[in-house]
């Protein structure tokens, strides 16, 4: 006789309160729920992408209390009480963020899969360093992979956005 | 990818974490930044029944200096060490903190979790070995301090007992006139180094009074390059002497062939990294500001 033993630990859901793009969300979540899944599946904010799902590509990059993190390698329960910013926060009242405009004007994207992560890493970079050198820009997106552009137009886009933002 | 189900507990203090881990026993794992642990859980290399989250324990994320000693709390992230005054004052610390992974991983990963991973590719144990650091542990039987070189016992194995956690690390403030460098080589930012070298020099002019060298990603744990040290200690640093030391380090390393490179390739990297490290440390001993970190292809 064969029996299939289902090993499922009885796990209690954990209450969390996470602010995403300015809105406070209160939910009960399974402890193993990844932050990226909370964002995409629970909140239906699908701008944050899952690329590698193994902490390499950076497509899932969001800002957690202002710091860039890979949301595929964080539990939703770890974000309890935190402030999360996703790519959806960039456009305001139908106006693109200067980084989005610059990516569009400088061909900073092709398929667009890496773009949300590239944008969030760039937001973090420009918040700390409004006038980044070439090297600073390269370091700023060191944790984000792009399989299409060859990066040069991404560097150009970030440079153009930085210049536009300094003029604002 | 979902980890297997687990229960989640949040510790509010060191004492509570020790109690939780001890009560649950075998199936429990401590969780800090999750940048090593969650990666393993997602591919189900490990299926703990319970995670005890240490991240909210207050006061474990500070950097203090005093009494000839530097203390870094276990929960201090690589990113906060990278931008701390400590990284400017003791550049070898900044070399390491800035070289680890990428911006995102550095935002979350902690020095304590890095040391507890027992991974020979993790940079902090190698760097800390060159600074004679102690790992501060606290568990059901009280507190103890263990030299970092003894703390990581074997591949992925530390001396931590059940219910015991790391609260911080400390090392003596390096003597005035001494300086070090931590240099590594890796394929891209979000990757562990193929090889790395930590090196701390005390010079009198061009004479090497003392030296400490540790090799990362070069064996089952970080390797104390005693043969290379012997080639340098008490000698005048000429190109010849440095080349002999680099050769000795490469010979003493025990690199394992993997997708990052062959054994020969890794030995030649170590040879180059030792020479580069000595060069940077010498310039720093002379008061120069030199920026180095991990290099990519
Ligand atoms: C893509 C990628 C690239 C990376 N590249 C590098 C690199 O180049 N160099 C490098 O050094 N590291 C690298 N890392 C690893 C990274 O530095 C991790 O942050 C670090 O190894 C673990 O720290 P953590 O706080 O995330 O620990 P966690 O992942 O939370 O825990 C790791 C282990 O330590 C235990 N633990 C954690 N804290 C404690 C404590 N205080 N007391 C007792 N046990 C504890 C946990 O139970 C677990 O077993 C990389 C990681 C990724 C994902
Ligand atoms: S999906 Fe998170 S890093 Fe690739
Ligand atoms: S635009 Fe396609 S991956 Fe970057």
User: In CATH, what number is assigned to the domain containing residue B38?
Assistant: 3.30.43.10
Q: Is the CB of A145 under 6 A from ligand 2?
A: no
Residue B176 lies in a domain: no
Any B CB within 8 A of A142 CB: yes
How do B157-158 and B165-172 pair as beta strands?
unpaired
Query: pLDDT-based confidence at B36, cuts 50/70/90?
Result: very high
B275 and B190 inside one domain: yes
From A42-46, A126-130, B17-21, B293-297, the region with the lowest mean pLDDT:
B293-297
- pLDDT at residue number A1: 41
- Using an 8 Å CB-CB cutoff, list residues of chain B that contact chain A: 1-8, 10, 31, 34-35, 38-39, 41-43, 49, 51, 53, 55, 79, 101-105, 107-108, 188-191
B282 and B216 inside one domain: yes
CATH match of A14-89 with 3.10.20.30? yes
Question: Is A2's pLDDT higher than 60?
Answer: no
Residue with tokens 């990428």: B102
d(CA A163, CA B169): 42
Q: Which CATH number fits domain A98-167: 3.90.76.10, 1.20.1250.20, 1.10.1040.10, 1.10.150.120?
A: 1.10.150.120
d(CA B63, CA B85): 9
Ordered by start, the domain boundaries in chain A are: 14-89, 98-167
B32 and B70 inside one domain: no
B190 and B288 inside one domain: yes
Query: pLDDT-based confidence at B176, cuts 50/70/90?
Result: confident
- Sign of the torsion formed by the C-alpha atoms of A51, A56, A57 and A62: positive
Query: pLDDT-based confidence at A168, cuts 50/70/90?
Result: confident
What are the residues facing B267 on neighbouring strands? Answer: none
B194 and B264 inside one domain: yes
pLDDT tens, position by position, B232-279 = 999 999 999 999 999 999 999 999 999 999 999 999 999 999 999 999
Residue B32: give the domain boundaries: 7-53
- pLDDT at residue number B295: 83
B110 and B29 inside one domain: no
- B156: CATH: 3.30.465.10
pLDDT tens, position by position, B130-150 = 999 999 999 999 999 999 999
Count of structural domains within chain B? 3
Residue B1 lies in a domain: no
DSSP B79-103: HHHHTSHHHHHSHHHHHHHHHSS-H
Contact across the interface for A69 and B101, Cβ inside 8 Å: no
Q: Is the CB of B118 under 6 A from ligand 1?
A: no
Residue B15 lies in a domain: yes
Here the tokens at position A154 are: 């991404």
- pLDDT at residue number A5: 47
B162 and B193 inside one domain: no
Question: Is B297's pLDDT higher than 70?
Answer: no
Here the tokens at position B263 are: 């054994």
Proportion of chain B above pLDDT 70, given as a percent: 100
3-state secondary structure of B121: coil
What are the residues facing B52 on neighbouring strands? Answer: B9, B30
Q: What's the distance, CA A57 to chain centroid?
A: 11
For residue A48, the tally of other CB atoms under 10 A from its CB is: 23
B167 and B236 inside one domain: no
Q: Which residue of A has its CA nearest to B41?
A: A32
For residue A44, the tally of other CB atoms under 10 A from its CB is: 7
Question: Is A10's pLDDT higher than 80?
Answer: no
Q: Is the CB of B32 under 6 A from ligand 1?
A: yes
Identify the CA nearest to B172 among candidates B90, B70, B95: B70
Question: Is A6's pLDDT higher than 60?
Answer: no
pLDDT tens, position by position, B208-237 = 999 999 999 999 999 999 999 999 999 999
Q: How far is the CA of B79 from the CAs of A68, A102, A147, B87, B286, in angstroms?
A: 11, 28, 27, 11, 28
3-state secondary structure of B40: helix
B238 and B164 inside one domain: no
B69 and B157 inside one domain: yes
Of B15, B34, B53, the last residue of a domain is: B53
Phi and psi at residue B117, to the nearest 5°: -65, -25
- Closest ligand 2 atom number to CA of residue A145: 4
Picking from B4, B39, B188, the nearest residue to A55 by CB comes out as B39
Of B125, B141, B171, the last residue of a domain is: B171
Proportion of chain B above pLDDT 90, given as a percent: 96
CB contacts, 8 Å: B4 with chain A: 7, 32
Question: Is B119's pLDDT higher than 50?
Answer: yes
Whether B167 and B151 have beta carbons less than 8 Å apart is answered as: no
Query: pLDDT-based confidence at B286, cuts 50/70/90?
Result: very high
Whether B276 and B213 have beta carbons less than 8 Å apart is answered as: no
Degrees, nearest 5: CA angle A159-A160-A164? 120
d(CA A127, CA A143): 17
- B274: CATH: 3.30.390.50
> Looking at residues B56-82, what average pLDDT do you find?
97
Whether B127 and B92 have beta carbons less than 8 Å apart is answered as: yes
d(CA A72, CA A53): 6
HEC string of chain A equals CCCCCCCCCCCCCEEEEEEECCEEEEEEECCCCEHHHHHHHHCCCCCCCCCCCCCCCCCCEEEECCEEEEHHHCEHHHHCCCEEECHHHCCECCECCHHHHHHHHCCCCCCCCCHHHHHHHHHHHHHHCCCCCHHHHHHHCCCCCCCCCCCHHHHHHHHHHHHHHHHC
Sequence-ordered list of residues with C-beta below 8 angstroms from that of B161, at least 6 positions apart, any chain = B139, B140, B141
B246 and B212 inside one domain: yes
B41 and B83 inside one domain: no
pTM: 0.96
Provide the shortest C-alpha distance from residue B7 to chain A (in Å). Answer: 5
Provide the shortest C-alpha distance from residue B70 to chain A (in Å). Answer: 26
- Sign of the torsion formed by the C-alpha atoms of B153, B154, B159 and B160: positive
Taking all residues of chain B, what is their mean pLDDT, rounded to a whole number? 96
From A35-49, B184-198, B283-297, the region with the lowest mean pLDDT:
B283-297
Residue B279 lies in a domain: yes
- pLDDT at residue number A9: 53
The residue count of chain A comes to 168
Query: pLDDT-based confidence at B1, cuts 50/70/90?
Result: confident
């Amino acid at each position: 006789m064969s029996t299939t033993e289902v090993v499922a630990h009885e796990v209690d859901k954990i209450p969390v309160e996470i602010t995403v793009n300015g809105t406070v969300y209160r939910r009960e979540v399974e402890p193993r729920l990844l932050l990226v899944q909370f964002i995409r599946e629970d909140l239906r904010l699908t701008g944050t992408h899952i690329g590698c799902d193994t902490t390499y590509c950076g497509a899932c990059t969001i800002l957690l209390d202002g710091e860039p993190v890979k949301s595929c390698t964080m539990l939703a329960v770890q974000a309890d009480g935190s402030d999360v910013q996703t790519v959806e926060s960039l456009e305001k009242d139908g106006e693109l963020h200067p980084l989005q405009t610059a990516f569009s004007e400088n061909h900073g994207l092709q398929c667009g899969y890496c773009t949300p992560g590239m944008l969030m890493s760039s937001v973090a970079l420009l918040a700390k360093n409004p006038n980044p050198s070439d090297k600073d820009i390269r370091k700023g997106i060191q944790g984000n992979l792009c399989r299409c552009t060859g990066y040069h137009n991404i560097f150009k886009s970030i440079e153009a956005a930085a210049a536009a933002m300094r003029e604002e | 990818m979902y980890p297997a189900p687990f229960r989640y507990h949040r510790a509010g203090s060191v004492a509570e974490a020790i109690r939780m881990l001890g009560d649950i026993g075998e199936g429990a794992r401590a969780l800090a930044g999750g940048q090593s642990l969650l990666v393993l859980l997602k591919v189900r290399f490990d299926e703990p029944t319970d995670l005890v989250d240490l991240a909210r324990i207050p006061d474990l994320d500070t950097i203090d200096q005093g009494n000839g000693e530097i203390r870094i709390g276990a929960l201090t992230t690589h990113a906060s060490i990278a931008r701390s005054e400590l990284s400017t004052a003791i550049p070898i610390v900044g070399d390491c903190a800035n070289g680890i992974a990428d911006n995102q991983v550095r935002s979350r990963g902690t020095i304590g979790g890095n040391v507890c991973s027992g991974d020979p590719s993790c940079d902090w144990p190698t760097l800390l070995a060159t600074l004679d650091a102690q790992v501060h542990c606290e568990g059901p039987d009280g507190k103890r301090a263990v030299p970092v070189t003894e703390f990581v016992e074997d591949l992925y194995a530390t001396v931590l007992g059940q219910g015991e956690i790391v609260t911080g690390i400390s090392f003596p403030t390096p003597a005035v006139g001494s300086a070090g460098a931590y240099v590594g080589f890796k394929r891209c930012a979000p990757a562990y180094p193929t090889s790395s070298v930590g090196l701390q020099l005390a010079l009198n002019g061009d004479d090497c009074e003392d030296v400490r060298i540790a090799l990362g990603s070069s064996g089952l744990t970080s390797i104390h390059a005693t043969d290379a040290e012997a080639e340098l200690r008490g000698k005048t640093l000429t190109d010849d002497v440095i080349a002999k030391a680099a050769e000795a380090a490469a010979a003493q390393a025990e690199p394992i062939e993997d997708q990052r490179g062959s054994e020969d390739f890794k030995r030649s990297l170590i040879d180059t990294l030792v020479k580069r490290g000595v060069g940077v440390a010498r310039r720093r001993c002379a008061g120069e500001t030199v920026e180095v970190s991990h290099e990519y292809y």
